[in-house]
């Protein structure tokens, strides 16, 4: 790949969703001990996403903050609820003309789905793919999901700069801080910062350039009645089976009177975000991906 200029500023953001405590408390730790995330060749800023929602233990106050970063919305003065204002503030800090114009943003999230340590890439920039290949080569829990074509990649925080991604860890309940995920996420952040340091020093000697990438292809909602009420739940055979193959005819849902509903697609897919609590209101029972082996 073409040599880019070096990384000068990195932002680590947590608590964009106020009830995802892993990232929220990691950022609080980094705010208290900023030396932990400093490296010789670049600056790192830890930034808390949604303090008001965190204070009341909710995902958001008025609106999902991680859907407020569309460029038109950031420029629209009539959008003025709490998260719309907060998105503008974060943009004033991290955006191109901001106080700390970030070259790379790491956005920390957690999920009730069995996602392990997932990197979510908003685009397939070669730099992102190589970083992802490196991280999955050193940690078998790391999965890489590219959601570039999902239609919301330009309204989330990571859309503020090209070299950026989210980390989703789970399964962990909303409103719960779990020490094992806290530690694993912190280790992953240190691995990322160390990689960036080596990159800046032009000493990258990446031997493993293969990458397993899960590419977004669509979503499936729960079966609902005409009032939008659930008519079925994730089938117990599918619960927790994120990143495993789902074949046509495999059970997808179980109705409340115990009838299985099968997957009717025509090819194998790899569901993720299965039974994510925050996605019930978004009409998403799971996201479907296709699995690719790449050389990056």
Among the listed ranges 68-76, 117-125, 156-164, 169-177, the one in contact with a second copy (CB under 8 A) is 169-177
Among the listed ranges 67-75, 154-162, 176-184, 207-215, the one in contact with a second copy (CB under 8 A) is 176-184
Minimum separation from the CB atom of position 46 to a second copy (A): 13
Among the listed ranges 131-139, 152-160, 191-199, 235-243, the one in contact with a second copy (CB under 8 A) is 235-243
Residue 276 in contact with residue 112, Cβ under 8 Å? yes
Smaller CB distance to a second copy: residue 9 or 29?
Answer: 29
**The two structure tokens encoding residue 183:** 């530690």
- Packed helices 179-200 and 21-32: angle between N→C axes, nearest 10 degrees: 60
Minimum separation from the CB atom of position 154 to a second copy (A): 26
Minimum separation from the CB atom of position 165 to a second copy (A): 24
Check residue 226 for interaction with a second copy (CB under 8 A): no
Among the listed ranges 23-31, 38-46, 78-86, 133-141, the one in contact with a second copy (CB under 8 A) is 23-31
Among residue numbers 262 through 291, which ones bind a second copy (CB under 8 A)? 275, 277-278, 280-281
Among the listed ranges 45-53, 66-74, 97-105, 253-261, the one in contact with a second copy (CB under 8 A) is 253-261
**The two structure tokens encoding residue 202:** 């032009």
Minimum separation from the CB atom of position 254 to a second copy (A): 5
Among the listed ranges 79-87, 128-136, 179-187, 194-202, the one in contact with a second copy (CB under 8 A) is 179-187
Smaller CB distance to a second copy: residue 123 or 174?
Answer: 174
Q: How many residues bind a second copy (CB under 8 A)?
A: 35
Residue 31 in contact with residue 12, Cβ under 8 Å? no
Pairing of strands 270-272, 286-295: antiparallel
First to last CA, the chain: 9
Smaller CB distance to a second copy: residue 19 or 215?
Answer: 19
Minimum separation from the CB atom of position 55 to a second copy (A): 11
With a CB cutoff of 8 Å and minimum separation 6, the contacts of 147 are 120, 121, 122, 153, 216, 287
- Packed helices 126-138 and 179-200: angle between N→C axes, nearest 10 degrees: 130
SS3 letters across 9-56: EEEEEECCCCCCHHHHHHHHHHHHCHHHHCECCEEEEEEECCHHHHHC
Q: Return the closest-CA partner of residue 269 out of 292, 291, 239.
A: 291
Smaller CB distance to a second copy: residue 33 or 292?
Answer: 33
- Residue appearing with tokens 């995920």: 181
Chain mean position to CA 227? 31
Going residue by residue from 27 to 66, which x/- string records binding to a second copy, judged by CB under 8 A?
Answer: -xx---x-----------------------xx--------
Q: Rounded to whole angstroms, how far apart are CA atoms 259 and 200?
A: 56
Q: Which residues bind a second copy (CB under 8 A)?
A: 25, 28-29, 33, 57-58, 112, 171-180, 182-183, 229-230, 233-236, 239, 254, 256-258, 275, 277-278, 280-281
């Amino acid at each position: 790949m073409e040599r880019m200029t070096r990384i000068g500023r990195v932002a680590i953001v947590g608590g964009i969703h106020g009830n995802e405590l892993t990232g929220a408390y990691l950022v609080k730790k980094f705010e208290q001990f900023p030396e932990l995330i400093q490296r010789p060749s670049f600056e790192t800023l830890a930034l808390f996403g949604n303090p008001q929602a965190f204070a009341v233990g909710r995902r958001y106050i008025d609106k999902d903050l991680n859907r407020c970063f569309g460029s038109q919305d950031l420029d629209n003065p009539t959008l003025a609820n709490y998260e719309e204002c907060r998105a503008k503030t974060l943009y004033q800090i991290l955006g191109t003309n901001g106080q700390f114009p970030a070259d790379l943003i790491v956005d920390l999230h957690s999920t009730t789905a069995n996602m392990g340590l997932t990197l979510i890439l908003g685009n397939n920039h070669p730099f992102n793919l190589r970083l992802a290949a490196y991280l999955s080569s050193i940690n078998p829990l790391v999965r890489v999901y590219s959601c570039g074509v999902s239609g919301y990649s330009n309204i989330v925080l990571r859309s503020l700069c090209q070299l950026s991604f989210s980390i989703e860890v789970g399964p962990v309940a909303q409103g719960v801080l779990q020490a094992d995920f806290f530690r694993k996420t912190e280790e992953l952040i240190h691995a990322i910062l160390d990689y960036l340091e080596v990159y800046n020093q032009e000493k990258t000697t990446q031997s493993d350039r293969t990458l397993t990438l899960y590419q977004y292809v669509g979503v499936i909602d729960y079966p609902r009645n005409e009032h939008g009420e659930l008519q079925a739940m994730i089938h117990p055979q599918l619960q927790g089976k994120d990143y495993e193959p789902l074949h046509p005819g495999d059970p997808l849902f179980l109705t409340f009177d115990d009838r299985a509903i099968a997957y009717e697609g025509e090819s194998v897919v790899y569901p993720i975000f299965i039974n994510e609590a925050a996605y019930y209101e978004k009409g998403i029972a799971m996201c479907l991906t296709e699995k690719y082996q790449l050389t990056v």
